[in-house]
Protein backbone atom coordinates (compact mmCIF):
# COMPACT_ATOMS: atom_id res chain seq x y z
CA UNK A 1 0.00 0.00 0.00
CA UNK A 2 2.82 2.43 0.82
CA UNK A 3 5.08 2.70 -2.22
CA UNK A 4 8.04 4.56 -0.82
CA UNK A 5 9.47 5.42 -4.24
CA UNK A 6 6.36 7.52 -4.88
CA UNK A 7 5.69 10.90 -3.23
CA UNK A 8 3.13 11.40 -0.51
CA UNK A 9 1.10 14.45 0.40
CA UNK A 10 4.10 16.17 2.03
CA UNK A 11 6.77 15.05 -0.45
CA UNK A 12 5.12 15.71 -3.83
CA UNK A 13 7.08 18.13 -6.02
CA UNK A 14 4.58 18.46 -8.87
CA UNK A 15 5.41 21.16 -11.45
CA UNK A 16 8.87 21.68 -9.94
CA UNK A 17 10.81 19.55 -12.43
CA UNK A 18 12.84 22.58 -13.55
CA UNK A 19 14.21 22.89 -10.02
CA UNK A 20 14.80 19.20 -9.28
CA UNK A 21 15.85 17.96 -12.71
CA UNK A 22 19.57 18.40 -12.06
CA UNK A 23 19.66 16.61 -8.73
CA UNK A 24 22.35 13.92 -8.46
CA UNK A 25 21.41 10.26 -8.78
CA UNK A 26 23.39 8.95 -5.80
CA UNK A 27 21.16 8.76 -2.70
CA UNK A 28 23.70 10.22 -0.27
CA UNK A 29 24.54 13.02 -2.69
CA UNK A 30 20.82 13.79 -2.91
CA UNK A 31 20.66 13.98 0.88
CA UNK A 32 23.66 16.30 0.85
CA UNK A 33 21.75 18.66 -1.45
CA UNK A 34 18.88 18.79 1.06
CA UNK A 35 21.38 19.43 3.85
CA UNK A 36 22.43 22.67 2.16
CA UNK A 37 18.90 24.03 1.80
CA UNK A 38 17.62 24.10 5.41
CA UNK A 39 18.83 26.09 8.41
CA UNK A 40 17.86 25.69 12.06
CA UNK A 41 16.04 28.69 13.63
CA UNK A 42 18.89 29.61 15.99
CA UNK A 43 21.44 29.40 13.18
CA UNK A 44 19.14 31.44 10.96
CA UNK A 45 18.99 34.32 13.42
CA UNK A 46 22.77 34.18 13.82
CA UNK A 47 23.09 34.36 10.02
CA UNK A 48 20.99 37.52 9.87
CA UNK A 49 17.69 35.96 8.79
CA UNK A 50 14.81 38.22 9.95
CA UNK A 51 12.75 36.83 12.82
CA UNK A 52 9.68 37.18 10.61
CA UNK A 53 10.95 34.20 8.62
CA UNK A 54 11.27 31.85 11.60
CA UNK A 55 7.68 30.58 11.13
CA UNK A 56 8.94 28.82 7.99
CA UNK A 57 9.70 26.01 10.44
CA UNK A 58 5.94 25.33 10.51
CA UNK A 59 5.82 24.43 6.82
CA UNK A 60 4.92 20.78 6.40
CA UNK A 61 5.05 20.00 2.64
CA UNK A 62 8.33 19.90 0.77
CA UNK A 63 6.72 21.89 -2.03
CA UNK A 64 6.17 24.71 0.45
CA UNK A 65 9.82 24.60 1.45
CA UNK A 66 10.88 24.66 -2.19
CA UNK A 67 8.59 27.63 -2.85
CA UNK A 68 10.39 29.58 -0.13
CA UNK A 69 13.78 28.55 -1.52
CA UNK A 70 12.82 29.55 -5.06
CA UNK A 71 11.61 32.96 -3.89
CA UNK A 72 14.91 33.54 -2.08
CA UNK A 73 17.08 32.23 -4.91
CA UNK A 74 15.65 30.93 -8.23
CA UNK A 75 18.72 28.79 -8.99
CA UNK A 76 18.23 25.01 -9.37
CA UNK A 77 18.14 23.25 -6.04
CA UNK A 78 21.46 21.46 -6.50
CA UNK A 79 23.22 24.85 -6.41
CA UNK A 80 24.45 25.50 -2.84
CA UNK A 81 22.62 28.25 -0.92
CA UNK A 82 24.16 30.77 1.42
CA UNK A 83 22.83 30.32 4.99
CA UNK A 84 20.48 33.31 4.74
CA UNK A 85 18.97 31.93 1.53
CA UNK A 86 17.94 28.61 3.11
CA UNK A 87 14.50 27.74 4.40
CA UNK A 88 14.18 27.81 8.19
CA UNK A 89 13.41 24.37 9.57
CA UNK A 90 14.35 21.54 11.90
CA UNK A 91 15.83 18.08 11.55
CA UNK A 92 12.38 17.00 10.33
CA UNK A 93 12.63 19.43 7.40
CA UNK A 94 16.08 18.14 6.42
CA UNK A 95 14.74 14.57 6.42
CA UNK A 96 11.45 15.33 4.67
CA UNK A 97 13.09 17.39 1.93
CA UNK A 98 15.62 14.61 1.35
CA UNK A 99 12.77 12.10 1.03
CA UNK A 100 11.01 14.36 -1.46
CA UNK A 101 14.15 14.52 -3.59
CA UNK A 102 14.84 10.79 -3.31
CA UNK A 103 11.26 9.93 -4.28
CA UNK A 104 11.45 12.39 -7.18
CA UNK A 105 14.35 10.22 -8.39
CA UNK A 106 12.31 7.04 -7.87
CA UNK A 107 14.40 5.93 -4.88
CA UNK A 108 12.39 4.34 -2.05
CA UNK A 109 12.81 6.53 1.02
CA UNK A 110 11.20 7.32 4.36
CA UNK A 111 11.56 9.95 7.05
CA UNK A 112 11.97 8.48 10.53
CA UNK A 113 11.18 10.13 13.85
CA UNK A 114 13.06 9.12 16.98
CA UNK A 115 16.21 9.87 18.91
CA UNK A 116 19.88 10.36 18.15
CA UNK A 117 22.11 8.71 20.74
CA UNK A 118 25.35 10.29 19.50
CA UNK A 119 24.86 13.94 20.41
CA UNK A 120 25.30 13.57 24.16
CA UNK A 121 26.70 10.52 25.90
CA UNK A 122 24.04 8.55 27.72
CA UNK A 123 21.13 10.46 26.21
CA UNK A 124 18.70 10.06 23.32
CA UNK A 125 17.86 13.44 21.81
CA UNK A 126 14.75 14.07 19.74
CA UNK A 127 15.76 13.80 16.08
CA UNK A 128 14.64 12.95 12.55
CA UNK A 129 16.64 11.19 9.84
CA UNK A 130 15.95 9.81 6.37
CA UNK A 131 16.43 6.29 5.12
CA UNK A 132 16.55 4.89 1.60
CA UNK A 133 16.42 1.32 0.31
CA UNK A 134 19.50 0.24 -1.60
CA UNK A 135 17.89 -2.92 -2.97
CA UNK A 136 18.93 -4.99 0.02
CA UNK A 137 18.22 -2.99 3.16
CA UNK A 138 17.12 0.35 4.53
CA UNK A 139 20.10 2.67 4.93
CA UNK A 140 19.75 5.36 7.59
CA UNK A 141 21.17 8.81 6.82
CA UNK A 142 21.44 11.75 9.20
CA UNK A 143 20.76 14.35 6.54
CA UNK A 144 21.29 17.35 8.79
CA UNK A 145 24.66 16.17 10.09
CA UNK A 146 26.38 14.73 7.04
CA UNK A 147 30.08 15.50 7.35
CA UNK A 148 29.81 16.97 10.84
CA UNK A 149 31.63 14.28 12.81
CA UNK A 150 29.02 13.24 15.35
CA UNK A 151 29.40 9.66 14.12
CA UNK A 152 31.87 7.93 11.82
CA UNK A 153 29.34 7.33 9.05
CA UNK A 154 26.30 9.64 9.15
CA UNK A 155 25.54 8.43 5.62
CA UNK A 156 24.97 4.89 6.98
CA UNK A 157 24.14 5.02 10.66
CA UNK A 158 25.12 1.96 12.67
CA UNK A 159 22.51 0.07 14.71
CA UNK A 160 21.70 1.92 17.90
CA UNK A 161 23.08 5.28 16.80
CA UNK A 162 19.55 6.34 15.93
CA UNK A 163 16.49 4.80 17.56
CA UNK A 164 13.06 5.31 16.06
CA UNK A 165 10.34 6.21 18.51
CA UNK A 166 9.13 2.61 18.43
CA UNK A 167 12.60 1.16 18.95
CA UNK A 168 13.17 3.42 21.95
CA UNK A 169 9.72 2.53 23.29
CA UNK A 170 10.42 -1.19 23.16
CA UNK A 171 13.73 -0.72 24.97
CA UNK A 172 11.97 1.42 27.55
CA UNK A 173 9.29 -1.22 28.13
CA UNK A 174 12.00 -3.84 28.56
CA UNK A 175 13.79 -1.70 31.13
CA UNK A 176 16.88 -1.43 28.94
CA UNK A 177 16.99 2.38 28.78
CA UNK A 178 16.12 5.14 31.21
CA UNK A 179 13.24 7.07 29.61
CA UNK A 180 14.20 10.16 31.61
CA UNK A 181 17.30 10.39 29.38
CA UNK A 182 15.17 10.63 26.21
CA UNK A 183 13.68 13.92 25.16
CA UNK A 184 14.10 17.32 23.54
CA UNK A 185 17.42 19.10 23.91
CA UNK A 186 17.21 22.57 25.39
CA UNK A 187 14.06 21.84 27.40
CA UNK A 188 13.57 20.99 31.06
CA UNK A 189 10.26 19.13 30.93
CA UNK A 190 10.11 17.41 27.51
CA UNK A 191 11.72 14.17 28.69
CA UNK A 192 10.47 10.72 29.59
CA UNK A 193 8.09 7.99 28.40
CA UNK A 194 5.57 10.38 26.85
CA UNK A 195 8.26 11.88 24.62
CA UNK A 196 9.16 8.38 23.47
CA UNK A 197 5.55 7.33 22.84
CA UNK A 198 4.91 10.62 21.02
CA UNK A 199 7.78 9.97 18.65
CA UNK A 200 6.55 6.40 18.13
CA UNK A 201 3.20 7.78 16.93
CA UNK A 202 4.92 10.38 14.73
CA UNK A 203 7.10 7.64 13.25
CA UNK A 204 3.98 5.61 12.44
CA UNK A 205 2.58 8.63 10.60
CA UNK A 206 5.87 9.09 8.71
CA UNK A 207 5.84 5.42 7.65
CA UNK A 208 2.37 6.12 6.28
CA UNK A 209 3.86 9.04 4.30
CA UNK A 210 2.54 11.74 6.62
CA UNK A 211 5.71 13.45 7.82
CA UNK A 212 4.37 15.69 10.58
CA UNK A 213 6.04 18.49 12.51
CA UNK A 214 7.96 17.57 15.67
CA UNK A 215 5.46 19.52 17.80
CA UNK A 216 2.29 18.24 16.13
CA UNK A 217 0.01 16.46 18.60
CA UNK A 218 -3.09 14.42 17.86
CA UNK A 219 -5.10 11.51 19.21
CA UNK A 220 -4.13 10.92 22.84
CA UNK A 221 -0.64 12.35 22.57
CA UNK A 222 -1.53 15.46 24.58
CA UNK A 223 -3.05 13.29 27.31
CA UNK A 224 0.16 11.29 27.42
CA UNK A 225 2.28 14.43 27.73
CA UNK A 226 0.05 15.54 30.60
CA UNK A 227 0.35 12.18 32.37
CA UNK A 228 -3.31 11.26 31.84
CA UNK A 229 -2.81 7.92 30.07
CA UNK A 230 -2.09 4.51 31.53
CA UNK A 231 -1.41 0.90 30.66
CA UNK A 232 -4.16 0.74 28.04
CA UNK A 233 -2.48 3.46 25.99
CA UNK A 234 0.93 1.92 26.62
CA UNK A 235 -0.30 -1.33 25.07
CA UNK A 236 -1.49 0.61 22.03
CA UNK A 237 1.98 2.13 21.67
CA UNK A 238 3.35 -1.41 21.99
CA UNK A 239 1.32 -2.24 18.87
CA UNK A 240 2.63 0.84 17.12
CA UNK A 241 6.23 -0.07 17.95
CA UNK A 242 5.83 -3.64 16.66
CA UNK A 243 4.12 -2.49 13.48
CA UNK A 244 6.79 0.09 12.73
CA UNK A 245 9.52 -2.51 13.29
CA UNK A 246 7.87 -5.06 11.01
CA UNK A 247 6.85 -2.51 8.36
CA UNK A 248 3.91 -4.54 7.02
CA UNK A 249 1.88 -2.02 4.99
CA UNK A 250 -1.55 -3.42 5.82
CA UNK A 251 -0.89 -3.34 9.56
CA UNK A 252 0.55 0.16 9.37
CA UNK A 253 -2.48 1.35 7.43
CA UNK A 254 -4.92 -0.23 9.86
CA UNK A 255 -3.21 1.28 12.88
CA UNK A 256 -2.85 4.73 11.33
CA UNK A 257 -6.59 4.78 10.63
CA UNK A 258 -7.58 4.22 14.27
CA UNK A 259 -9.19 7.19 15.96
CA UNK A 260 -6.47 7.39 18.61
CA UNK A 261 -3.70 7.44 16.01
CA UNK A 262 -5.13 8.98 12.83
CA UNK A 263 -3.66 12.33 11.80
CA UNK A 264 -6.59 14.80 11.59
CA UNK A 265 -7.29 16.82 8.46
CA UNK A 266 -6.71 20.10 10.28
CA UNK A 267 -3.05 19.12 10.67
CA UNK A 268 -2.62 17.59 7.23
CA UNK A 269 -3.84 20.80 5.61
CA UNK A 270 -2.03 23.32 7.83
CA UNK A 271 1.47 24.69 7.73
CA UNK A 272 2.36 26.33 4.44
CA UNK A 273 1.52 25.70 0.78
CA UNK A 274 0.31 22.21 -0.12
Q: What is the pLDDT at residue 270?
A: 46
Q: What is the pLDDT at residue 14?
A: 80
Q: What is the pLDDT at residue 2?
A: 75
Helix 165-173 to helix 193-207 angle (10° resolution) is: 140
Q: What is the pLDDT at residue 137?
A: 96
Cα gap 188→160, rounded to integer Å? 25
Q: What is the pLDDT at residue 273?
A: 39
The answer to whether the CB of 255 falls within 8 A of the CB of 239 is yes
- pTM for this model (two decimals): 0.95
List average pLDDT for each run of 10 residues in the chain, which is 274 residues long: 88 78 91 97 97 97 95 91 97 98 95 98 98 97 95 97 98 98 96 98 98 97 96 98 96 96 83 41
Q: What is the pLDDT at residue 15?
A: 73
Amino acid sequence: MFEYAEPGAHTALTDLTDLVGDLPSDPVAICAVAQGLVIQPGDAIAAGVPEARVPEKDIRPAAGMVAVLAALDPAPLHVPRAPAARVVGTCRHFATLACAFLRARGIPSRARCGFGTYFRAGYGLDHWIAEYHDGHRWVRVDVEHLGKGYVDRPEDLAPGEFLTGGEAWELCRQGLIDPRAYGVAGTESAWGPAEISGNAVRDLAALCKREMLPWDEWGRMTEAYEGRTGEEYDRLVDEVARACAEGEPGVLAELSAREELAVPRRLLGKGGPT
